[in-house]
A and B are shown apart, each in its own frame.
Chain A
Amino acid sequence: MARHNLGTVISFEVTRTFKKKQFWLTTLLVPVVLGIVIALVVISNNSTASMVDSQKDAVLTFTYSDASGHIDPTIASAFGGTVAGDGAQAIADVKSGKSAAYFAYPAQPATEATMVYGADLGIFDNGKYSSIATGLMVASAQAEINDQTLTALAKGSFPVDSITYKDGAESGGVLGALAPLLFLLIFYVVIVMLGNQMLTSTLEEKENRVTEMILTTLNPTTLITGKIISLFIIGLVQMIVFILPVLIGYLFFRTALSLPDVDLSQLIVNPGQMVVGALLLIGGFTLFMGTLVAAGAIMPTAKEASQVFGIMMALVFVPLYAASLVVSDPSAPIVQIFTYFPYSAPVTAMLRNGLGSLSPVEAGIVIAELFILGGIVLRLAVQLFRYGSVEYSKKVSLRTVFARSRG
């Protein structure tokens, strides 16, 4: 009957959630907002592109003086520049509006500042003066070098491919980190989206005084397992709905959205890291969900339970404060503490697993810790629900619960 009832609980929980208008309103709100943002970005980018096209051929006329001797007058002329006879007069002309801009190149432009004077065009458009001044000097320098290869090398625009080795084998670098870090992303999304629902899910039985009816027809383990699975299914549906506009945007409006063309075939998937990532995700999920259910079972109302949710969220995000240390020095004491402290372990260990700094021994210890503690907390949660949720209007202490369970 337990398996039959597990199916019944999952079916009831999932169906009633999907039947609620509020669920779809809040779930669809995210893709709708994303859709609107994507549409606005596409429209904005299109109009910007049109504006750039229309202004592409418009040449800024300016005057300049060149103490360095590097500016090529022909190139300067092509840029719209004419030589200024007197610097002070050129500045005065800019002030009075007779001239759009005046650039004063110093004798040592590599060490001294090139002065740019121009009519105010607003904080964004004012930047084009220095761009043109720089562009003119670069173009003149390239002409002076008169060698395309040297020019490219001087600019640093040449390809570099890195191959690094770890324990004698080629390591993946950033492309190798992306796949296992996906588990970290899923963990955050699941905890943030479903955590509060998990906390309040068993409170519903308590607040509605259904607990005794439930406990005499259904094993509490079955109820809680059913609720966790239901929430996972609901969360999965929400994730798909959320991701859909992003996928559509990427597949059909990539250029308009200026999104990079990611070549997925370049991703490096290390099976070991993926297995460790999946185990850390499941272990961490079990621990956090068990803790939230346990908290919900002893709190009398959703309002009081929500305080616990705040603490849990803090625990999820705290390891990010040490993220730079996790990347640069995984053996630092604070990183080690975060790796092994149960509630910061999932995030820290998944991050280190993605970056390749989690050794197999460390991974084994953290996974074992998460599964063992997760199991204990889930059992405790069942116990708390069984004996704590009958105290309908009271905040129940652990002592009271154990007094009831021991008799």
Chain B
Amino acid sequence: MAAPRHGAEPLVQISNFRMDFGRTTVIRDLSFDINRGETFGFLGSNGSGKTTTIRALLGIYQATAGVLHINGRPFTPEDGATLGYLPEERGLYKKETVIDVMTYFGRLKGLSKAAAAHWSREYLERVALGDKAKVRLDKLSGGQQQKVQLGVTIMNDPELLILDEPTKGFDPVNRKLLMDIIEDQKRAGATVLMVTHQMEEVERLCDRVVLLKNGVVEAYGTVEAVQDQYGGTVVRLQCSGEIPASRHYTVTRRGSSYAELTVSGPVDEAVILRELMDAGVTVRGFTAGRPSLDDIFVAVYGDQNAGDTADTAAGE
């Protein structure tokens, strides 16, 4: 993959997507696009229908209504050579050797046997599993199996990389490896669709996001636009002393030496600082900025208990 494939034409188009399982409606009306070359965050609480949407996009489920296109047409397994998919429920043929499984998937994705085996050996060396090529997968540790799974996902140099809860169950070492791989793929021009609950990763990696709630879009746009959409400035303090109540802000977080205030309306940060100091609060650090996606997530889904939404029975 020589150059990034940014362009105006969306790689993924989802419009008026509806998904019913029997009498249960999981997705009511969902529309969003993913542009070529961008990294896109698909966010929502447990059971909100993210995995269902991805399965419908990849033709695993049949949509009740709407259009779900990749490269301008419905996805079929014949397009698998352009896709890297790391599903939420993941695994490989555990009774087979690492190299056999990787070569098999490479062959299915259109590589020659020699090319698939060569790529696999190079990748295994890169992730410190060079000596495990002929070991059965079930003899590897969980972390080592995750590395192999990642390799299988990206071995065809995919145009579109779909990662459903990519860091779920990953240890910190593999999480960093995954992040590096995503960065590499981004640099190589791949379009990345990420489903995750790790908001720091979204802020770090994603260009745009969509927030799904009750089967419809709650927010959609660049990370900054969504942050702006949800509330005003957030003031983060390193401080000690009693923070007084005020009409200018509400205290959203409080630690022994830390506090976070959400500013109400167009108030100058200096006014707030003076108000605090006048109340006897010792301020050692003061920053003002947008709310984090974590804050927004809590604000949007705070009224829902995780996993209690309508489609729990139907799977995510």
Contact = CB atoms under 8 A, between A and B. Distances in A.
Contact of A404 (B62, B80, B92): B62
Interface string A376-407: 00000000001100111000000110011111
Contact of B93 (A2, A204, A218): A204
- What secondary structure prevails in chain A residues at the interface with B? helix
**Chain B residues touching A, range:** 35 or more
Nearest to B109: A217
A215 B105 contact: no
A2 B110 CA distance: 11
A123 interface: no
Interface stretch (B17-25, B174-182, B281-289): B17-25
Interface in B29-85: 55-56, 58-65, 75-78, 80-81, 83, 85
Given A217-B77, A407-B20, A212 B60 contact: yes
B107 interface: yes
A209 B164 CA distance: 14
A126 interface: no
Given A16-B96, A390-B60, A403 B91 contact: no
B108 A217 contact: yes
Contact of B89 (A5, A212, A219): A212
B269 interface: no
Contacts of A404: 21, 61-62
Contacts of B263: none
A210 B92 contact: yes
Interface residues of A, number: 31
Nearest to B21: A403
A108 B166 CA distance: 98
Contacts of B92: 208, 210, 213
Contacts of A219: 76-78
Contacts of B108: 5, 8, 214, 217-218
B307 interface: no
B64 A407 contact: yes
A58 interface: no
A1 B110 CA distance: 8
Interface string B196-219: 000000000000000000000000
13 contacts: A1-B110, A209-B87, A213-B87, A216-B58, A216-B80, A216-B83, A403-B20, A404-B21, A404-B61, A405-B62, A407-B20, A407-B56, A407-B63
Interface of B: 19-22, 55-56, 58-65, 75-78, 80-81, 83, 85, 87, 89-96, 100, 104-105, 107-110, 152, 315
Given A387-B60, A392-B89, A407-B20, 17 more contacts: A12-B107, A16-B93, A208-B93, A209-B87, A209-B91, A212-B55, A212-B89, A216-B77, A216-B80, A217-B108, A217-B109, A219-B76, A219-B77, A390-B55, A400-B21, A404-B61, A404-B62
